[in-house]
Amino acid sequence: MAAALNYDLHMKSLTIYPILILFCLTLYVPGLFSLPPTDRDESRYAQSSRQMLEDNDFVGIRFQDRPRHKKPVGIYWLQAASAAATGMAGHNRIWPYRIPSLLGAVAAVLLTFYFGRRLFGRDTAFLGAALAAGSLLLIAQAHLATTDAVLLAASVAAQGALALSYTGASQGRRKNSAWWVFWAAQGIGILVKGPILPFFSALTIGALLIADRRAGWLKSLRPAAGIPLALAITAPWFIAVQAATEGRFLLEGVLGDLLPKIVSGHESHGFPPGYYLLLMSVTCWPMSIFTLPAAFHAWRRRLRPEIRFCLAWIVPAWVVFEIVPTKLPHYLLPLYPAMALLTANAIIHVARGPENLLHTRAARIGFAIWSLVTVAIAGVSIVLPWLITGGFKAGSLWPAGTAVIILCVVISRIARERPMAAVVAALAGTALMLAPVLQNTLPAMNELWLSRAVAEAVERHTGKPPYRAAPLAAAGYHEPSLVFLCGTRTSLTTPKGAARHLARHSGALAVVSNDLDPDFHAAMASLGQKAALVETLHGLNYTKGRRMTLRLYALDPARTNP
């Protein structure tokens, strides 16, 4: 990948696709199979998808016995199909449910190149696709069984088709055969994450209409044919789920999920405006080394149709999401392909033209921030495992050392005014740094994976996979990953509920948090029973940011009857 970027940017386009695929797989496959299921969204999605197969119900969405009226069905269908196709539907392996995210991330990168080539040319498109592929945020989302990587692929398809309509009109081309791609992608995006993709496209169109004061180019989208196409994709399931839930799905989805995110910091994710701007240097890393000077470069060339479109793709949505109280890093992922293309365009112009972009104030500020973030990555690589495990981990030296090497090489290339070489070093270094971390270091940090520890303890005690053993009861630890690993029948309950569960089910086990342990034993005594300690487990519940001690209990064979 690095050699191709550095020495042969003029290769045929068909040759570029396999190179981009190989680069993506280098970034996205390590850790895909070895990382345990994460909390909370990933495990909720995967568990709900598995229940579709268990219940043979592909209309309703449920997590255990509770309806899940937050997102449409698209991602659940894809994950269920992946689990069924791999023959892993009856197991508790998370990787089959991550395959749609992997494919979505790869598709988004390839589509970035495809549409970027039509807008900017092959070289900028290739570099832009590689920058998008290597961003930390997309690497993270490619490893998670959630909606965002699949939504990104639909977003690039829709926005790319919209860009061809806009730039084609600017260049005098009246016909646009990509209209159906735009509307089909809108339908798929709605099935995956509701109105988010239409919202991004509407903001882009609105910004272009205000800036240009012309709307004739929208005719090439053929809405009279396109809207029925989008409805044909989305309407059947929405009608079916509304009938199955007696109209509750849309009502609860809008009132219980969408509106709270707009009007307040929903689920403790509220942050002030500027959050995404501050976070960009991390989530876009290593691309963020050039994003600031690239922004100024793009603004000075904003009258060019392809640059104007990318700015309309980015700026309005960015402003809106900065204003909306609820903020999560992945909300702005659909903007990354446009950012990557503008960044690549600036780098290509610097490499080939007389413009001294590297010596601007924006460039100096951007390089300084990027360098600080890279140093922070090195420091966190050592400190975080120490804080989690309580001791130094030799494996943390690899990402820390690699980050320092990346920093030194990039700075030396920039000092020699070789931005392309700096980008190559950053992208290649990212792949080298993250692969062993995702594949080995993170999965081996046992303190992070309490649910996995419980599932392994259950299997040691029963001699059966936890999802095939007698159902488990949990009091004080109710993370969705525990349900995914130990089976749908896992009971998330109170200390009294755990005691009744243990007393009533032959061979059953109960896991109880340390703070609820006295209540659990009191409940057992009230039933005239006694619990026998099987194993004590220690770890970090990272969703709550606190350490926990869990105790696994079985019914004492020497119990007294009531």
Residue 298 counted as domain residue: no
| DSSP assigned state of 112 | H
Distances (CA, A) of 133 to 114, 215, 288, 328, 444: 14, 33, 13, 20, 26
Residue 297 counted as domain residue: no
Q: Mark which of 275, 298, 322 sits at the end of a domain.
A: 275
Mark the ranges of the chain whose per-residue pLDDT is less than 70.
Answer: 1-13, 169-176, 255-256, 258-270, 351-356, 559-562
Is the separation of the CB atoms in 203 and 316 below 8 Å? Answer: yes
Between CA 462 and CA 475 the distance in angstroms is 20
How many domains is the chain built from? Answer: 2
pLDDT score recorded for residue 9: 46
Residue 158 counted as domain residue: yes
pLDDT score recorded for residue 449: 97
Is the separation of the CB atoms in 362 and 295 below 8 Å? Answer: yes
C-beta neighbour count of 415 within 10 angstroms: 10
Q: Mark which of 275, 299, 329 sits at the end of a domain.
A: 275
Is the separation of the CB atoms in 444 and 395 below 8 Å? Answer: yes
Residue count of the chain: 562
3-state secondary structure of 67: strand
Between CA 104 and CA 552 the distance in angstroms is 39
Domain limits for position 165: 2-275
Is the separation of the CB atoms in 16 and 519 below 8 Å? Answer: no
pLDDT score recorded for residue 524: 97
Residue 542 counted as domain residue: yes
| DSSP assigned state of 325 | S
Residue 427 counted as domain residue: no
Per-residue pLDDT of 213-260, as tens digits, reads: 999 999 999 999 999 999 999 999 999 999 999 888 888 777 667 666
Residue 317 counted as domain residue: no
Residue 300 counted as domain residue: no
Distances (CA, A) of 371 to 210, 379, 407: 38, 12, 7
Between CA 281 and CA 371 the distance in angstroms is 10
Residue 406 counted as domain residue: no
pLDDT score recorded for residue 279: 94
Q: Mark which of 222, 246, 275 sits at the end of a domain.
A: 275
Between CA 517 and CA 551 the distance in angstroms is 8
pLDDT score recorded for residue 562: 46
pLDDT score recorded for residue 252: 79
The burial class, CB within 10 Å (0-12 / 13-18 / 19+), for 9 is middle
Per-residue pLDDT of 39-50, as tens digits, reads: 999 999 999 999
Picking from 515, 518, 490, 495, the residue whose alpha carbon sits closest to that of residue 505 is: 490
pLDDT score recorded for residue 243: 94
Picking from 483, 496, 491, the residue whose alpha carbon sits closest to that of residue 454 is: 483
C-alpha 124 chain-centroid distance: 25
Is the separation of the CB atoms in 178 and 139 below 8 Å? Answer: no
pLDDT score recorded for residue 7: 45
Terminal CA-to-CA distance of the chain, rounded, Å? 70
Helix axes 41-55, 74-85, angle to 10 degrees: 70
